Amino acid sequence: MSEQDCAGTGKATRQGLLGAGTPMCAGCGGLQALHQIYDLVGDKTVFVNAAGCMTLLSIYPFTPFPGSWLYTAMACAPAGAQGVRDALDVLLAKGRIQPEQDQLPVVLTGDGSAYGMGLSATSAAIDRGLDFLYICYDNEGYGNTGHQYSAATPAGARTATSRVDGYAGIKKDLFAIWSAHRPAYVATAIGTEPADLARKLKKALSLSGPRLLLVLAPCPTGWGFEPARMVELGKLAVKTGIWPLKEYSDGQVRHTQVPARRKPVTDYLQLQGRFRHLFAPVRDTDKLTALQRQVDDYWEHID
């Protein structure tokens, strides 16, 4: 990665556009990433926030967003972004705002909306070629309501609504679903890899059309770990290969980090209370082996 690619990370640290003192949980990986993202996209944006954990940023007059912010139901944030874009276009056409006053609609959702309830509206927005940036903080459950399972919950994770032996489903591949629409840009990221996140966001901002930044968001309360270990857990998600860092553009998928020597997935799983039943009172060797095999199978075609 060049120094130019990394330049935005330092800028993000210095600016700090998003205010402090929010009622978000300590150690929230989604909020960590949002701080970095907001510093790079700037306040000439209209955040269209679907109901979710980031709803906690809406408590007027204490919202930490110095720019514009619009709250919507879970299923309709892309439709809200369409309305914002249309309104801005009308104002530009009538000369009521100048081009330098134009703003970028940015959808901000959790995985419950992005992978499930809002997917239909998102697909339609991509089909229309809506010029917007879509940020999903993926904490792999309905975190704002007690961490029930969502379509993003990984196999084996215990949630408020899964079986005692963990979620029996498989995490939906949102990256592949978006890429199948042939949008302008799709990328996975995580706040604990800020240089990678900054480079992808800068690339997304250089394009127009539908763009997704899918950010894994370690969640202390839902995943069951001490907030102080958030960075350690985020880095392990990448080093074990569970969270591949990659991007899609011009019809091609490229991995931006390929772990040379992947750590065992157990290094990542055993730090989280939601997987504790796989280790005690009896180690579930079959399930742990199956989870490792899923990761190995993915990277076998990438290494």
163 pLDDT tier (thresholds 50, 70, 90): confident
Per-residue pLDDT tens over the stretch 263-282: 999 999 999 999 999 999 99
Q: Cα separation of 215 and 201, whole Å?
A: 11
DSSP state, 65? -
Every domain of the chain and the residues it spans:
29-300
Query: Is residue 267 a contact partner of residue 233, using CB atoms and an 8 Å limit?
Result: no
Evaluate if residue 158 carries a pLDDT over 50: yes
- Judged by average pLDDT, the poorest of 45-54, 60-69, 195-204 is 60-69
CATH of domain 29-300: 3.40.50.970
Q: State the pLDDT at residue 14.
A: 53
Q: Count of residues for the chain? A: 303
Q: Cα separation of 186 and 246, whole Å?
A: 8
**pTM metric for this prediction:** 0.94
Evaluate if residue 5 carries a pLDDT over 70: no
Per-residue pLDDT tens over the stretch 143-157: 999 999 999 999 999
Instruction: Pick the closest to residue 151 from 141, 159, 161, 143 (CA basis).
Output: 141
What are the strands, taking DSSP E only, across 77-209?
Answer: 104-110, 132-138, 185-190
DSSP state, 207? S
Evaluate if residue 208 carries a pLDDT over 50: yes
Q: State the pLDDT at residue 19.
A: 87
Q: Once rounded to an integer, what is the mean pLDDT over residues 220-243? A: 98
Q: Once rounded to an integer, what is the mean pLDDT over residues 164-188? A: 96
What are the strands, taking DSSP E only, across 39-129?
Answer: 45-50, 68-72, 104-110
Whole-number average pLDDT of the chain: 93
Q: Give 206's contacts (C-beta < 8 A, 6+ positions apart).
A: none
